Chain A
């Protein structure tokens, strides 16, 4: 396999990538996908010259990331679609087609990713529609009854049963990837904090890792520890929020209110550290802006104790309620086969028996020395997705508590060196929802010339799609909340 192998956060020179012709490119990518690698990126190496593309495949077993380059004739941007054999590439090909006019030949379902009313291939896109006397279509959104982000959902139903769900997104598209190219250092941090409001720490962590690797800046162990503590706090907070949301969706108000109360305690801990309850303003290139003093450690420790104590009884109450269990069990099931075929990531994948956690599979920062122990469940239903989140909260609390006992001394900020020219880096971080991938590539002058972000939502929305098949339409909100996906993270 002709490819460049790198590890998470390992900078590579662009010249090292060999750009293959169309046939070799196709064969190599095909070979990689057949070996069970997962696609995490497919985009041109430079926005202005879309004929040179790279395909990034990740191998969770060896922690290696493979970069396969392909060079196409400028007037003939087309290749044979991989999506028929490997559905996980489907959405990446759609995105490539939408943004750069590539034509994936024989693509099974070429559809817009972010832009509305766009012509892909040769014909304007039509929503999938079932025909028949007793089939009816329910279209929801993009404006919803509650205060949630915009997204358009089309259900093809037979009575209350859903046969097919199509999710159309892109209403939140802000052009984050382009903004990254034209911004200065301070702006870039703020932009990455705003990619998805619920994954501030994860995205900013990935972004800082990427830029620091590009400039060969060595950050202290103390900084890495503070960053991972912030990340785990975000994980706990968002899992609590998700559990509260799930309880709310089944109308279980006392449980919902209790989880909500605990979430406040956790986000206040994050505020004690950096002044923002969502972790904004904590990260700077080369370190963190706020140090972890003994006083803050004591406060966070107390908060975690409270949460640990209370959450046990709330979990017990929720998972011993027959009413809740009837709603959760065997609702919105995604099988293991489907999950790996469509490349699910994060906790949605871990409940389908897939052992994938970037903190283990692509270790970074402090997780290289202090591993976490993710739980893997098998059933892939709402119950598993809900239950797993309680396990992950426990694990994160354990992790943070252990870190507090062994915080190394060190500076919290180092000056960042200048960014190396003609270099690229792949930065993977396990956010609470799943794997966050940032890819940064610089040009000859050391300016960032390509920046690509893959939020876990990008792949996982399709999982929700599959979960809804043969499920009652009234269970949609519950399934949706159990995946807890981001609209803005997808739309960028």
Chain B
């Protein structure tokens, strides 16, 4: 998006024109789709969680890890066969926000760049899309944990 400042009158006029003709996003419809697609993925996640609790003796707390790994495995298959793309177009954030969306970002980047070779192509680009999530996740977690630890040291 262009910044509003530093525009001459013509450019401002153009921006208004552009705004008038911009396609209105069907926000409510998108939200409903995102809700049930995302909800469905979490429902499947819950089913996988119970599967690990009952058959592999995980507890409610530890079952999250194998669940995430399984969901990423499923998203590898769906991404590889080109199904996740359709799901993404239909479900919007409903397919992006669950961890399967993270898996899809990693896996599609890996598949897309394989023609450039395994080291420079796959290895170098595998986190091209998902890297920002890891970077900001790690840094914010560092800040939060640092603050919590310092408060604990001073308070306790």
Query: Is the A/B pair a real complex?
Result: no
